[in-house]
């Protein structure tokens, strides 16, 4: 962990320079959050001509390594975040990107009040009203994210995108194959799924969209009264198939133990899909959903194996990461079951 | 030969300590969460120690049968592990080549993959299997 006093001094100096006015920082504290980055909360205090005020902010800085090879650096994440904000998606307002804070870039966004911890959101009674609102709110937020104009916001080139001549699904499957090879451990269940996914791809989408890449309960800030206040954690954003974002939040892993509620343990997918279809004009095809949900389980199995390897390679000693290596089998069993049920229904 | 407690009795004791004594005393939620993960990892090690080599030999037998090999499993555990890795790679290569796309061998390959994942979960997370099965 970064030394707090060093970080505070460096941040005060960088922000005084960036804003052109004297600033100081209060209440700097590290908080629970993303796996490949450090997340801090702080209040930025400014005194410009008697208008003293504190701005609540969140600061993120990179740690060593990443879950997947394709995760974004903070500069690209900042660009995506700004584009989604401009498109009217519920995201924390962007504040500043610092190119060099103690030798690494740092991203500052406004801090919205909300709970993101999945285990709390699916269980605590105070979020009952929020849970009822969330499916439709998630659908609307996702439609806004997918409405970002990729050309105008200059995201082509800044983000991972489908390989030339390949569909988003084919590109993702090639990534899975490469990740499996680098993990260097036989996983026949994943190989069977990969092969099935290659042979049963649905028609590609009319056009690729800005995909959040980690759209699920756990990466949503939720207030008990208003429901969704902000979509966070943009490090896996890329250009791809809209169905990926519609299905990632459905897999068992992101239901936080409330498995009967298929949308993140908080509701059913139908109102989420309906709200998305209303706002985006895209009808949600069940076969496409089944395909991408299977792919999501395979992708998270790979994510688990990779997280464990970050620890095993000595990049980052972390008991949570290393424990995931023994959890991949859960996703493998889930994926095998889904593959069988899809094969039977067709 | 070591005196008792045996290895699995030790890891079981550590798991119980982390779960029942240390975790409830911690006020930092992140540290408590990681302590619970540590307790769970110790429980995995305990189950793995108690199962011994039997799961490896079972896996060898079904994998070798699927691939049409007839050698018995090696006696030494290190060789058993190396051999299983090689057999697993052979199976993965055949799946990628399309051998398991359809037909009776495809069904056998699926059945093997499911049983191998289930066997891993019996060590790693038996409660997950109960929840999925029930």
Using DSSP bridges, classify how beta strands A238-240 and A209-211 pair: parallel, antiparallel or unpaired: antiparallel
Q: CB distance from B96 to chain A under 8 Å?
A: yes
Confidence of residue B69 (pLDDT cuts 50, 70, 90): very high
Whether residue A273 contacts residue A320, with contact meaning beta carbons closer than 8 Å, is answered with no
CA count, 13 A, side-chain hemisphere, A228: 25
- Domain span at B120: 54-133
Greater confidence (A220 vs A33) lies with A220
Residues in chain B with CB shorter than 8 Å from the CB of A259 are: 131
Per-residue model confidence (pLDDT) at position B71: 87
Give the pLDDT score at B35: 97
Nearest by Cα to A140 from A87, A218, A219, A86 = A87
Q: Tell me the three state secondary structure of residue A263.
A: strand
In this predicted structure, the answer to whether residue B34 has a pLDDT above a threshold of 50 is yes
**A337 has pLDDT over 60:** yes
B87 and B30 in a single domain? The answer is no
Burial string for A232-261 (b: 16+ CB within 10 Å, else e) reads: bbbbbbbbbbbbbbbbbbbbbbbbbebeeb
Q: Do B65 and B118 fall into the same domain?
A: yes
Residues 6+ apart with CB under 8 A from A334: A251, A252, A297, B132
What ipTM score was computed for the predicted complex, to two decimals? 0.96
Residue in chain B closest to A343 (alpha carbons) equals: B102
Q: Is the pLDDT of residue A136 over 80?
A: yes
Same domain, B86 and B63: yes
- For A270-292, the pLDDT digits (tens) are 999 999 999 999 999 999 999 99
Q: What percent of chain A has pLDDT over 70?
A: 94
* Mean predicted confidence (pLDDT) in A49-67: 74
Cβ within 8 Å of residue A164, ≥6 positions away: none
Sign of CA dihedral A216, A147, A131, A93: positive
B38/B67 same-domain check: no
Same domain, B15 and B81: no
In a domain, B123, yes or no: yes
| pLDDT: which is higher, A31 or A268 | A268
Closest-approach residue (CA) in chain A for B40? A323
- How many whole angstroms separate alpha carbon A97 and alpha carbon A116? 23
Residues B69 and B125 in one domain: yes
Band of pLDDT at residue A66, cut at 50, 70 and 90: low
* Whether A319 contacts chain B with CB within 8 A: yes
Residue A33: per-residue pLDDT? 47
Confirm or reject contact between B36 and chain A (CB < 8 A).
no
| pLDDT of residue A250 exceeding 70 | yes
B1 in any annotated domain: no
**Residue from B82, B113, B131 to probe the interface with A (highest A Cβ count within 10 Å):** B113
Mean pLDDT of the A234-240 span: 93
pLDDT at A114 over 50: yes
Q: Which among A271, A251, A272 is positioned nearest to A262, based on CA atoms? A: A251
Do B75 and B126 belong to one domain?
yes
Task: Answer whether residue B2 is part of any domain.
Answer: no
pLDDT of residue A230 exceeding 60: yes
Residues A342 and A292: beta-carbon distance below 8 Å: no
**pLDDT band at residue B103 using 50, 70 and 90 as cut-offs:** very high
Secondary structure percentages of chain B, helix, strand, coil, to 5: 80, 0, 20
Kindly state whether residues B84 and B124 are assigned to the same domain.
Answer: yes
Report the C-alpha gap between A255 and A297 in whole angstroms.
13
Which pLDDT belongs to residue A70?
59
What pLDDT, on a 0 to 100 scale, did the predictor assign at position A20? 82
Taking CB atoms and an 8 Å limit, are B96 and A185 in contact across chains? no
Are B23 and B72 found together in one domain? no
**Chain B: closest CA distance from residue A101 (Å):** 25
Q: Answer yes or no: do B100 and A187 touch at CB < 8 A.
A: no
Average pLDDT, chain A: 91
Encode pLDDT of A277-332 as tens digits: 999 999 999 999 999 999 999 999 999 999 999 899 988 788 999 999 999 999 99
Helix or strand (DSSP H, E) at B48? helix B29-51
Mean pLDDT value of segment B17-31? 95
Residue of chain B whose Cα is closest to the Cα of A177: B96
Say whether both B61 and B122 belong to one domain.
yes
| B134 has pLDDT over 50 | no
Q: Which two tokens stand for residue A16?
A: 């005084």
Q: Are both B39 and B68 inside the same structural domain?
A: no
> Which residues in chain A are contacts of B117 at CB distance < 8 A?
189, 329, 332-333, 336
Are B71 and B112 members of one domain?
A: yes
CA nearest to B88 within chain A: A186
How many structural domains compose chain B? 2
Q: Which domains does chain A have, with CATH numbers?
A: 4-110 (3.30.200.20), 118-345 (3.90.1200.10)
């Amino acid at each position: 962990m970064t030394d707090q006093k060093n970080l505070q001094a460096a941040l005060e100096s960088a922000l005084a320079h960036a804003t052109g006015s004297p600033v100081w920082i209060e209440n700097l504290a590290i908080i629970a959050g993303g796996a490949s980055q450090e997340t801090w909360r702080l209040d930025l205090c400014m005194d410009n001509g008697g208008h003293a005020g504190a701005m609540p902010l969140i600061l993120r800085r990179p740690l060593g390594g990443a879950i997947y090879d394709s995760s974004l650096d903070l500069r690209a994440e900042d660009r995506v975040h700004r584009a989604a904000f401009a498109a009217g998606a519920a995201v924390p307002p962007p504040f500043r990107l610092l190119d060099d804070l103690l030798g690494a870039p740092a991203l500052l966004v406004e801090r919205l009040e909300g709970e993101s911890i999945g285990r709390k959101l699916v269980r605590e009674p105070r979020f009952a009203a929020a849970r009822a609102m969330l499916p439709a709110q998630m659908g609307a937020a996702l439609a806004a994210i997918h409405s970002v104009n990729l050309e105008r916001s200059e995201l082509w080139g800044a983000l991972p995108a489908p390989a030339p001549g390949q569909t988003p699904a084919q590109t993702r499957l090639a990534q899975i194959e490469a990740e499996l090879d680098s993990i260097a451990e036989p996983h026949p269940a994943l190989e069977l799924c990969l092969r099935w996914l290659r042979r049963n791809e649905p028609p590609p989408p009319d056009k690729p969209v800005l995909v959040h890449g980690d759209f699920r309960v756990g990466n949503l800030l939720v207030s008990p009264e208003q429901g969704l206040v902000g979509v966070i954690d943009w490090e896996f954003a890329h250009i791809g198939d809209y169905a990926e974002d519609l299905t990632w939040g459905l897999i068992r892993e992101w239901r936080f133990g409330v498995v009967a509620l298929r949308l993140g343990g908080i509701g059913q997918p139908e109102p989420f899909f309906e709200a998305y279809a209303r706002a985006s004009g895209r009808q949600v095809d069940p076969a496409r959903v089944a395909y991408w949900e299977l792919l999501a389980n395979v992708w998270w199995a790979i994510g688990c194996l990779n997280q464990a390897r970050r620890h095993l390679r000595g990049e980052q000693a972390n008991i949570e990461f290393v424990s995931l290596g023994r959890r991949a089998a859960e996703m493998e069993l889930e994926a095998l079951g889904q593959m069988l049920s899809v094969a039977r229904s067709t | 030969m070591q005196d008792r407690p045996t290895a699995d009795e030790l890891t079981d004791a550590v798991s119980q300590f982390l779960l029942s004594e240390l975790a409830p005393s911690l006020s930092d939620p992140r540290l408590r969460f990681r302590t619970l993960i540590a307790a769970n990892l110790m429980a995995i090690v305990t189950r793995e120690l108690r199962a011994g080599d039997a799961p490896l030999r079972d896996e060898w037998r079904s994998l070798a049968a699927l691939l049409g090999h007839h050698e018995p499993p090696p006696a030494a555990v290190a060789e058993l592990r190396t051999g299983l890795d090689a057999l697993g790679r052979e199976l993965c290569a055949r799946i990628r080549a399309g051998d398991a796309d359809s037909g009776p061998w495809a069904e056998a390959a699926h059945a093997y993959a499911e049983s191998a994942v289930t066997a891993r979960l019996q060590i790693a997370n038996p409660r997950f299997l109960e929840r999925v099965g029930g």
